[in-house]
Structure 1
C-alpha cells in the first residue's frame, strides 16, 4: 500500500500543476514530508514483511502503517475529487455572467475544501512521524540487491530418499523416466543437453519426485554420469559449477574464478553423457544461466537436465523442451503419508479408533504432500478423538503448525513478488474456496482498488493487470487456467487460498471493511455491472 500511495501522491501533485489549481495552499511542505517519510519506510519494507509473521510487535507496526496509508489514500481521493469539481465549476463559470458576486459560492467552497484537506494532511503527518520514529526500534535492514556470493540459509536437498515413504507418484515417475531415456531424433542436430522441467506450487513434492526419478534403476545404464545439485534461491554460478565438476572429476576444485571453472568443466564433460538434476531453481536472470549452459553444451547430445522450479517463467528461461506440471495427490495418498507420522508408536486399537477422523483430516490437505506431513506430525501428539476433532474443525491457516512448517514454503514464492503483486495476491482470499475466478473481473477489481497504480489510462492499467496475473499464474499461485468462449477463468489451490487468508489475518483488523468500501465506491468508474449486489 505504501508504494501505491507514493505513486498517487506524485500523480495528484502533477494533476494539480497541470490543472493550475491550488487546493492545498500552504501544505506543500507537508505533502513533500509525507512522500519523504513513506520513501524511507519503503526502503525497509522488505525486511519488515519478512519478519512480521514471527514478531508480533512488527506486525502491529505494519498494521498502523497500513492504516495510515489507507487514510492518506482517502485524502488523495478527496483531493482528486476536488480537482475534478474545480474543473467542472471553472468550465461552467465561463458561460455564466454575474456582475455583482462572481463565483462567490464557488470561492467559498474552494476555501472550505482547501482548509479541510490541509487539516487532514497535517494530522496524517503527525501520525506518520510517530510510525517513522518507531521504525528505528526494530533495526530493519535497508533493501539492497542480493549478494550472489551470499550462502542461502535454506536446507539444501540431496538425491537420497526413502522410496517406501513416497506415495502416489508412480505415474509421474514413469513419465519422467521415459522422457529422460528418450533419444530425440530430428533433422536438426540437438545443441546441448535436453532440458525437462518439473513445475508446481511449493510443497507439491517436486524435489521428492526428482529424487524418485534420479534413483530409478532404469536410468543406471542410460548415462555415464548422474549429478545432483541443489540450486536454491541464490543462483551461485561458481558453487554450481564446482558441485558439477566435483562429481565429474571425482575431486573438489580449488578454482574460484567462474571463467576457469567453466573451462575446466567443459574439458571434463566433453563428449560425455550425463543426467543432471538442478533442484529448486529460482533465478529469472538468463545472464546467470547462460554461461553454465554454454559450458554444458559440449557434452554428448543425449545428455539430459532435469529442473525443478515453482515458476514456469524459469522453465522457459532454461530452454525447457518438455514441462511436467506436477498435480495433486489423491486423498488416499495424502492419508497414507499422514498416517505414517500420525500413527507412529500407537497400538493397532488406537489407530482403528482414530482412522475415520484421520481420513477426513487428510481431505483438508487437498493433495499437497507437505500439508499431509505437517498435519501428520501435529496429530502424532494428539491422543484423543476430541483433540483430533478440533484439528478437523479448524481452518489450516488457524493452526500454529501451519505458520511454522507449511506456510514458510509458500512465503518463499510470496517474498519474490513486488509489493503491488503481493497486495493483488492476498486480495484473492475474498473469493470462496474452489470457486472459479473470472480473470477480467479480478483485474478490474485490482484496478478499482488502486493496486495497479494511479495512471489514468485504463488500457495501460488493464495491460499491467494481465502482466501481474500471468506472473502470479506462472509462479503457481493460480491453477486450472481455462479459456472458453472469450471468458478466462482460474482457481486457487485450497492451501494457497489458506495462505492468502493467513496473510489477510495478519493485516489490520478493519482492513477488509475498508477495502470492500473502497471497491464498491470505485467500481462505477470502470464497469458499473461489476458493483456487488
Structure 2
C-alpha cells in the first residue's frame, strides 16, 4: 500500500465533511452533533496517519490500525452518500403527480422519519468506531507529521561521470550539444535573450541526469563556456540555497579550469552566513560578463514567480549563456524553457542488453553463460528502454548464476520483485509522492487495467467522477471538465502518454513501468483478476476481470465493501445473469459496474438494490432484449451506456427519474423517443444514438443541457434540428446516409457555439455545411473523415480564428485548400491522410501549399 494512501482517503473525506451541503444535511436530519464529533476525531487521527504509515513495518499492529481507519472512512462515505440519495428521492416524489407514488414513499424505508432514525444510528456507530480506534492509536506513540516531509528524498546529484558507464546516448548527447551551440532562438544580442533555457524531460529513471552529466563533461563545453555550474534542485526550490550552490559551483569551476592560475587564488569561501543582499551581489559578481552553462538538475518547482525571480538574478552573463534543466514534468519544462523541451526517449533493445550485461556480470563473464544472456534478453523487455530499470534488474542478478533465479525475475511483475532504495519503482514513486492527494487517488485506478491498454479519456474521467474523486472548488465548473484537467496533469507529469488527441476525444496509454508503479502503490484494494488468480483479499474494493476463466463465484470476496467491478477487455464479459444477481445482493455499495461485452439476455430486477451506483455499462451485449424498469430507481446513476445492444427492443419506462444522469448512449429498435422523459434529465450533458436503425426524427423541443451529441450509424435519421441544443459544444455524425447535412430548414441556428465537429462516412457531402459558419468564433477541432465525394472546402474555413486541430482523412477527391489558410494562426495540428493529390501539394518544402501551412506546429501528411 502507498505510504500516503490512507492519509489521502481521510483527507478527501474531511474535505467532504467540511462542505456546506453536508453541514446543511446533518442539521436537517438531526445528526449534526455526532457528525461533527466524528469529523473532529478524524481530524486528530489524520494528523498522525503519515507517521503511522511510515512506521507500519516497524511497529506491530500499526498496519492493522491503518486498515481500520481506512475501513471507517470508506464506511462513513457510504453512510453520508445516503444524504444525497434521500434528497434525490424527495425530488422524484415531488416531481411525480401520482398520489400512489407519494403514498408508497411514505410507507417505505425512505420515509423521512425512518431515514432520520437509521442515519442517526449509523453515524453514531461510525463515530464510536472512530473514537475507539483513535484511543487505540495512542499506544503506538505516533506524532503529527508535515505531509511535505514524508515525500521520499532523492539523493543529491553531482556532475562527475565515468564516460564508459554511459551506453547508447551518443546521439542524444550530440543533439543537446548542438542546441547549446546555437544562438538564442529570439536573440537580439542582449537583454533577456542573452540567456537560453533548454529543458530535458522524461519519466524517472530514463537517464536525464546521466545525459546532462555527459554533456556537462564534454570537452566541447570547456571551449564554449567560461564557467560551468551544476546545481541539484530536487524538491526544495529555495532561492537562497540555489544562489549559494551556484556561487560555490562557479568558484569550483574557476579553480578547476585549465586557465585558472596555479596559485589557487580562487579559494572556496564560507558564504553561508551572508544575508540575501550580499549573496545576490556575490552571485552577480561571479556571473557578470561571463559566458556560462548552468545545469539545474531534477526540478520539481511549478511556481513560475519563483523561477522568474531566480532567472532575473542570473541573467547577467554574456550572450550565449545557457541553462540546462532536467525535469519529469512537461508543464515545468514549458514554463522554464526558451526552446521546445528535449523529450528523452528510451534506450534501444540492443543498448538495453549491453547495459544489463554490464550490471549483471563482471567484465567478460557473460561469455560463459550464454543461456543466462538469452534470459536477459527477455528480462530487459519489461524495462521498456528505461536505463534505471535495466540497472535495477541487472544488479539484482549480479554474480548469481542460478537459472531459476533469472527465470523468476523474467516471469515476475516488476512490482513483485524486491525493491531497494535506489531501484526503479522507488525512483518513480518520487513522482507519485509529489502529486497532490487527489491526483494520487486517481492514478491508482490505472492498476485495474492490463499493460498496453488503450485508455479513453471519457471512460477514465467517468471512473473518477463515479467514485467522488473529482471535486469542483468553485461549484460551477463541470466535474467532467475538471477530470479532463486531471488527465492533462498526469500527462504533464509523464504518467501517461497521449496516443491521439482529437479535441473532445482523446486516447492514451501508460509506460509499462508506470503501470508497475500503479500496482506497487495500490496493492490490496485494487485487484485485476486473471486465470492465475487463486485468492482475492477480503478487503478488496475495486476489481477487474482481465482474462477468460477468471469468474469463479467462490473466488469473489463475501465482504460487502466492493465499489468497482469492470471488464475492460473487448470480448470478455458475463455470460449469465446469475453472477450479476449475486453481486447486486452482496455488493450494495457498488459505484461502478462495467458489464460491456456480456452475453446475458435479461437484466435482473435486483439491479435496483445498487442504490449507490453511478456508472453502468451494458455496451455490446448482443443478446440482451429487456432492461427492467427497476433500473430507473438508481437515482445516483450518472452514466448509462447501451451502445451496441442491437436486440434491445426498448429502453426502460421511467427513464426521466434518473435525475443524476450526465451521459447516455442508446441503441434501440424504438422509432420514437419520449420527449417528456428526456426533458426531466436536467443534468444530461452527453447524448449518443448508436445503431438506432428505426429512428427518423430526434426531439422537437429544446434540450438545453445537452453539450455533446453523437449520431452514429442511424441509417434512417432524416432530421437533425440543431437549434434545440442551444449549449451544444461537440457534434459527432457518422454513417447517417439519409441525413441531409446541407439543409437546416427547421429553425435558425445563429446561436450555435460548437467547439468540436466530427463528420465521418458520408457519401452525400460534396462540400461542408454552411451552418458551420455560425461556429466561426468558437470551433477548435474539425475532423472530416471518409467523405469520398467531398470536392472542396468552404472559404469560410480560413476565418476559424480559434481552430486548433484540423484532420482531413480519406477524402480522395479533395484537391485544394482555401487560399487563406495562413490566416489560421491558432492552428496547432494539421493531419492530411488518404488524399493523394492534396497530400502532394502539401508536402514539406516542395508542395505548392507548404508556404500556407509551414507555420503549423504539428503537421502529418500521409
Structure with more relative contact order (C-alpha pairs < 8 Å, separation 6 or more): 1
CA RMSD, aligned part only? 3.2
Aligned equivalent of 1:16? 25
CA distance in structure 2 between the partners assigned to 1:162 and 1:402 by the alignment: 23
TM-score by length of 1: 0.88
Aligned partner of 1:511 among 532, 538, 541: 541
**Alpha-carbon shift at residue 83 of structure 1 (Å):** 2.5
Q: Please list, as runs of the form range in 1=range in 2, the aligned pairs for 1:285-296 lying within 5 A after superposition.
A: 285-296=303-314
**Alpha-carbon shift at residue 77 of structure 1 (Å):** 2.0
Does the CA contact (< 8 Å) of 1:6 and 1:35 recur in 2? yes
**Alpha-carbon shift at residue 200 of structure 1 (Å):** 0.9
Q: Please list, as runs of the form range in 1=range in 2, the aligned pairs for 1:493-508 lying within 5 A after superposition.
A: 493-507=511-525
Aligned equivalent of 1:252? 269
Does the CA contact (< 8 Å) of 1:281 and 1:308 recur in 2? yes
- Change beyond 3 A, Cα 1:385–1:264: same
**Alpha-carbon shift at residue 2 of structure 1 (Å):** 2.0
Aligned equivalent of 2:43? 39
Aligned equivalent of 1:209? 211
**Alpha-carbon shift at residue 243 of structure 1 (Å):** 2.0
Does the CA contact (< 8 Å) of 1:8 and 1:76 recur in 2? no
CA distance in structure 1 between the partners assigned to 2:178 and 2:451 by the alignment: 36
Aligned equivalent of 1:80? 84
Aligned equivalent of 2:640? 528
- Tell me the secondary structure at the aligned position of residue 521 of structure 2: helix
Q: Please list, as runs of the form range in 1=range in 2, the aligned pairs for 1:112-151 lying within 5 A after superposition.
A: 112-144=114-146
Aligned equivalent of 1:110? 112
CA distance in structure 1 between the partners assigned to 2:33 and 2:14 by the alignment: 15
The runs of 5 or more residues in structure 1 that have no matched partner are none
Aligned equivalent of 2:579? none
**Alpha-carbon shift at residue 186 of structure 1 (Å):** 4.7
- Tell me the secondary structure at the aligned position of residue 528 of structure 1: strand
The runs of 5 or more residues in structure 2 that have no matched partner are 1-8, 252-265, 526-536, 544-561, 565-589, 594-612, 617-636, 646-862
- Tell me the secondary structure at the aligned position of residue 506 of structure 2: strand
Does the CA contact (< 8 Å) of 1:197 and 1:315 recur in 2? yes
- Change beyond 3 A, Cα 1:438–1:141: farther
- Change beyond 3 A, Cα 1:52–1:490: farther
Aligned equivalent of 2:245? 243
**Alpha-carbon shift at residue 54 of structure 1 (Å):** 7.6
- Higher mean alpha-carbon deviation, 445-454 vs 132-141, is at 132-141
Q: Please list, as runs of the form range in 1=range in 2, the aligned pairs for 1:354-365 lying within 5 A after superposition.
A: 354-365=372-383
- Tell me the secondary structure at the aligned position of residue 380 of structure 2: helix
- Higher mean alpha-carbon deviation, 351-360 vs 502-511, is at 502-511
- Tell me the secondary structure at the aligned position of residue 65 of structure 1: helix
- Tell me the secondary structure at the aligned position of residue 614 of structure 2: helix
Aligned length: 523
Aligned equivalent of 1:429? 447
**Alpha-carbon shift at residue 198 of structure 1 (Å):** 0.6
- Tell me the secondary structure at the aligned position of residue 298 of structure 2: strand
Q: Please list, as runs of the form range in 1=range in 2, the aligned pairs for 1:295-310 lying within 5 A after superposition.
A: 295-310=313-328
CA distance in structure 1 between the partners assigned to 2:470 and 2:104 by the alignment: 41
CA distance in structure 1 between the partners assigned to 2:199 and 2:56 by the alignment: 33
Does the CA contact (< 8 Å) of 2:464 and 2:470 recur in 1? yes
**Alpha-carbon shift at residue 61 of structure 1 (Å):** 3.1
CA distance in structure 1 between the partners assigned to 2:168 and 2:405 by the alignment: 28
Aligned equivalent of 1:5? 13
Q: Determine which structure has the larger helix proportion and give its number.
A: 1
Does the CA contact (< 8 Å) of 1:455 and 1:461 recur in 2? no
- Change beyond 3 A, Cα 1:383–1:263: same
* Poorly superposed stretches of 4+, deviation over 6 Å: 53-56, 454-458, 530-533
- Change beyond 3 A, Cα 1:369–1:107: closer
Does the CA contact (< 8 Å) of 2:168 and 2:351 recur in 1? yes
Aligned equivalent of 2:198? 196
Does the CA contact (< 8 Å) of 1:16 and 1:83 recur in 2? no
- Change beyond 3 A, Cα 1:497–1:97: closer
CA distance in structure 2 between the partners assigned to 1:292 and 1:475 by the alignment: 23
What are the superposed Cα offsets for residues 131-167 of structure 1, whole Å, 9 maximum, x if unpaired? 32344345445354859xx999542111111111111
CA distance in structure 2 between the partners assigned to 1:55 and 1:140 by the alignment: 11
What are the superposed Cα offsets for residues 382-402 of structure 1, whole Å, 9 maximum, x if unpaired? 322122111111111001236
Does the CA contact (< 8 Å) of 2:72 and 2:129 recur in 1? yes
CA distance in structure 2 between the partners assigned to 1:61 and 1:304 by the alignment: 52
Aligned equivalent of 2:415? 397
CA distance in structure 2 between the partners assigned to 1:97 and 1:360 by the alignment: 68
Aligned equivalent of 2:671? none
What are the superposed Cα offsets for residues 4-32 of structure 1, whole Å, 9 maximum, x if unpaired? 32333335534537xxx84x43x322111
CA distance in structure 2 between the partners assigned to 1:154 and 1:243 by the alignment: 17
Does the CA contact (< 8 Å) of 2:498 and 2:506 recur in 1? no
Q: Please list, as runs of the form range in 1=range in 2, the aligned pairs for 1:398-413 lying within 5 A after superposition.
A: 398-401=416-419, 405-413=423-431
- Tell me the secondary structure at the aligned position of residue 366 of structure 1: coil
- Tell me the secondary structure at the aligned position of residue 248 of structure 1: helix
CA distance in structure 2 between the partners assigned to 1:324 and 1:239 by the alignment: 27
- Higher mean alpha-carbon deviation, 1-10 vs 352-361, is at 1-10
What are the superposed Cα offsets for residues 92-135 of structure 1, whole Å, 9 maximum, x if unpaired? 58x8599xx99863699333322222222222122222332344
Aligned partner of 1:267 among 285, 288, 293: 285
Task: Indicate the structure (1 or 2) with the bigger Cα radius of gyration.
Answer: 2
- Higher mean alpha-carbon deviation, 455-464 vs 293-302, is at 455-464
- Change beyond 3 A, Cα 1:289–1:162: same
Does the CA contact (< 8 Å) of 1:181 and 1:219 recur in 2? no
**Alpha-carbon shift at residue 297 of structure 1 (Å):** 1.2
Does the CA contact (< 8 Å) of 1:230 and 1:278 recur in 2? yes
Aligned equivalent of 2:296? 278
Aligned equivalent of 2:184? 184
**Alpha-carbon shift at residue 59 of structure 1 (Å):** 4.0
